[in-house]
Amino acid sequence: MALEKVRITIEHTGVGIDVMFNPEEYTVNKDNNFASQGIPGRSGPLLQFVQGNMRTLEMELLFDTYEQRRDVREETQRIVKLLDIDSALHAPPVLRVSWGSLQFRCVLARVSQKFQMFRDDGRPVRARLTVTFNEFLDLDREAKEVNRQTADFSKAHVVTEGETLSGIAAKLYDNAQMWRPIAIVNEIDDPRSIAAGQTLRIPSLPFVNPDTGEVLQ
């Protein structure tokens, strides 16, 4: 059975590009951003999740046209041109990098070309391309894949008949006394004034009162 090659497919046209030689390795990177807030009297800062950064895929691709006595740039340009703006999209194309279990929907973010062997006339016949792909997520696709509640990472709760703020706090925080964060973010002055059908934002804990700086947890 022939060795499976890494394939880069242009999503909107279906055109596929097979690499000449498979990479020896590849690297997938992923990290998150957290904001820290120092609180007097605590042994360390509070961390609040801000956002997830994009995943990136990095690999090195080898191109060699020495035996064919061709300019290797005829091959490398097929990759480099994926950085160009597509006239139909008004943006570089969305790609899919496939190699066995690796399936990565992305755009090409960076290409570094190193030419290493040359013919007598100076034309290169061997090149190494270091490429970086950034994961591409559109809003519709991400909404289907991620169960997110609200933009500020709080939950939503619809009040049912007979519920109270302390009862909701007991249900969601396991602590009936933690009703004040719910009242603060929903600007409720009278905790007895909530009504059935009302939608309340339920902030994550620990909660910092924006008016006083008091930490509630």
Answer yes or no: is 22 within a domain. yes
CATH number, domain at 183?
A: 3.10.350.10
The pLDDT of residue 150 is 44
Answer yes or no: is 183 within a domain. yes
Answer yes or no: is 166 within a domain. yes
Residues 15 and 116 in one domain: yes
Nearest to 152 by CA among 103, 185, 196: 185
Domain of 125, in residue numbers = 7-145
The pLDDT of residue 34 is 80
Answer yes or no: is 88 within a domain. yes
pTM summary value: 0.62
pLDDT tens for 128-180 read 999 999 999 876 655 555 544 444 456 888 899 889 999 998 888 888 888 88
The pLDDT of residue 33 is 82
DSSP bridge pairs for 98: 7, 103
Nearest to 201 by CA among 175, 170, 165, 177: 165
Q: Is the pLDDT of residue 61 over 70?
A: yes
Stronger pLDDT, 20 or 34, i.e. the higher one:
20
Can you point out the beta strands (E) in the chain? 7-10, 16-18, 26-29, 32-37, 46-52, 56-64, 95-99, 102-118, 124-135, 155-158, 199-202, 207-208, 215-216
Q: Is the pLDDT of residue 100 over 60?
A: yes
| Cis? peptide before 93, omega within 30° of 0 | no
CATH number, domain at 120?
A: 2.40.30.200
Residues 75 and 171 in one domain: no
Residues 107 and 166 in one domain: no
Residues 206 and 187 in one domain: yes
- 194 with 165: CB under 8 angstroms? yes
Residues 175 and 68 in one domain: no
